[in-house]
Structure 1
Amino acid sequence: MGRGMNRQNTGWLFISLAVAAITIFYFYPMLQALLLSFQSGMGANLEYVGLANYIRLFNDPTFLTALKNTLLYLLIQVPLMIVLALIFSVLLNDATLKFRSFFRIAIFLPCVTSLVAYSVIFKYLFGMDGLVNQFLLNVSLISAPIQWLSDPFWAKVTIIVAITWRWTGYNMIFYLSSLQNVDQSIYEAAKIDGATPFQQFTKITIPMLKPIILFTSITSTIGTLQIFDEVVNITNGGPGNATLSISQYIYNLSFEYTPDFGYASTVSYVIVMLVIVLSIVQFKVAGEKK
């Protein structure tokens, strides 16, 4: 009995260190940010203003623009990225494909590059005299350079292309690792029954990857709602806030404009609420009860 209690106490000792660290560096800042969202002022001169900051959100055109832009990135980029990752994983799981390792590394490599470095490279690639315009002009797909960074529509397209390029390989690895654990006799039986590759993909692959698809959808949603580096380094939120994200607006409220940490905390909790709501929706759509 005594030995069992000692082992249990030792276990609690190890756990307590992790719990203390998580509480101090994770939950405590979250609680402080929540309390700060009900305050207004500069520096230490803060005063409680109740729900004034939350009411201000609905009358703030810059916030509404940032919210619209972020949701647009989410609605277009996440489904596009998930579909591409699924297609790549199926193609690269084919045992007959030559140079599979090379293609896997090539597609996965973008997600391990520096966020700032790749954003700066994309900024130059999609410049007026960048390689993208030069290529499109050389193959006669366009007659004049596209203003990728100075046109509101094309600037959004550039951001979506950038984050899709970076994170597709990351999600592909999850699907690929799951596919390698699937018994190939299932696909062989489907072939014998006359199932086409598309039918195998929709009737076998997608249902078997359902938990992984749910996981990557939620993590991708969280990541896209927090998008910051690409917007700041490629377009800096421009032109005219056309690509401004919520995270960049939080940064601007805290450090670029007159510091308003109370309102910045309020805006940050919009991301928290969006993550919670969209995660619940995704669980419901996927039919997951646990």
Structure 2
Amino acid sequence: MKTKWRIELWCWLFLLPTVALFVLFQGWPIAASFYYAMLDWSGLTSDSTFVGLRNFVDVAKDPYFWNAYKNSFKFMLGVVPLNLLVPLVLAVVLNRPRLKGASIYRTLIFLPVVTTTSIVGIIMVFIWGSDGAVNDALMKIGWLDTPINWLGDAKWSMFTVILISVWKNLGINMIYWLAGLQSIPKDLYEAAEVDGARGTKLFVYITIPLLLPIGAVILLLNVVNSLKVFDLIKTMTNGGPFFATDVVSTYIYRYAFSSEMGLPQLGYASAAGLFFAVTISILAIIQSVLNKRMKGRAQS
């Protein structure tokens, strides 16, 4: 028992720096947000007024918040399926041992992941602008007669942002799927081939079932990350045009740090953030429960 206690003590000592950093940069801001959400406070002065739950009520009554809330889920529903399917196809193709230059293809696909998102957004503004490379290419091949303002037209802006987000995160999701594919024992494929299974049957009856656990994790990561999108939309559209791409993150930024709405309202922005955090937490819990059930079924 004494030896076990010493081992646990050393473990906690090594974990202490991580725990301290988490409390300082994650725990404290979350706890402070609950307090700030009950204040009428700009964040710029020492004067603040306690208003209780009024900020939460005002957020719930604001149609612009619900527009941003709806757009967040619209973005998520557009991004997540593509972030699951397209990287899976690429991972299956690049996982073939006989494919020459697979490592080069993987590197090229992964490059956008290590590029700063805000830089990608700024560059894409020029590429997808009215006189950008996309319009120029589409007009040369005859798909367009007149240029489209991809980011300035409410009809196309969300579609464009979704497309660029999928391209930006293609590499990291491909790596997740590759890790899952390479964790499947080759003996299973060999045994199935002896029984006469080939091609599609191997993929449907062996690959897909064994990828489901890691697929659930990838799904959870993509759902949470897509609902937290900020930098890409901020640099490309700033929530426009006419709030067509305004998401909860840009809504919160507008009230907390920007002068667009007059004097910043840090208390109100904190309430909006907590309001949305509850939604993300509920989704994460639901997905965690479903993931455990899937693992239980797979083991049984």
The match for 2:248 is 246
The match for 1:166 is 168
Matches within 5 A, 1:263-282: 263-282=268-287
The match for 1:59 is 61
Deviation at 1:188, TM superposition (A): 3.8
Structure 1 unaligned spans of 5+: none
- The separation in 2 between residues aligned to 1:38 and 1:176, in whole angstroms, is 46
Task: Write the deviation string for residues 138-173 of structure 1: whole angstroms up to 9, x where unpaired.
Answer: 111122212201111210011101110011210110
- The separation in 2 between residues aligned to 1:138 and 1:189, in whole angstroms, is 52
The match for 1:109 is 111
- Which residue identity does 2:222 align to in structure 1? S
C-alpha distance 95-63 of structure 1, shift in aligned 2 (>3 A): same
- The separation in 1 between residues aligned to 2:295 and 2:51, in whole angstroms, is 39
- The separation in 1 between residues aligned to 2:199 and 2:165, in whole angstroms, is 29
The answer to whether residue 45 in structure 2 is matched with residue 40 in structure 1 is: no
What percentage of residue pairs aligned between the two structures are identical? 34
The match for 1:23 is 23
Where 1:243 maps in the other structure, the secondary structure is coil
Task: Write the deviation string for residues 29-85 of structure 1: whole angstroms up to 9, x where unpaired.
Answer: 111111211222333222222221111122212111111111101011011111111
Deviation at 1:8, TM superposition (A): 4.9
| TM-score of the two chains, using structure 2 as the length reference | 0.89
The answer to whether residue 130 in structure 2 is matched with residue 128 in structure 1 is: yes
The answer to whether residue 181 in structure 2 is matched with residue 176 in structure 1 is: no
C-alpha distance 259-180 of structure 1, shift in aligned 2 (>3 A): same
Task: Write the deviation string for residues 172-211 of structure 1: whole angstroms up to 9, x where unpaired.
Answer: 1011022122222323444455545344333322221122
- The separation in 1 between residues aligned to 2:12 and 2:60, in whole angstroms, is 46
C-alpha distance 34-176 of structure 1, shift in aligned 2 (>3 A): same
Range with greater deviation from structure 2 (2-11 or 59-68): 2-11
- The separation in 1 between residues aligned to 2:294 and 2:115, in whole angstroms, is 34
Q: How large is the Cα RMSD of the aligned pairs?
A: 2.2
The match for 1:216 is 218
C-alpha distance 3-61 of structure 1, shift in aligned 2 (>3 A): closer
The answer to whether residue 266 in structure 2 is matched with residue 261 in structure 1 is: yes
The match for 2:156 is 154
CA contact (8 A) 1:124 1:130 kept: yes
CA contact (8 A) 2:56 2:275 kept: no
| TM-score of the two chains, using structure 1 as the length reference | 0.92
- The separation in 2 between residues aligned to 1:32 and 1:55, in whole angstroms, is 19
Range with greater deviation from structure 2 (193-202 or 148-157): 193-202
CA contact (8 A) 2:213 2:295 kept: no
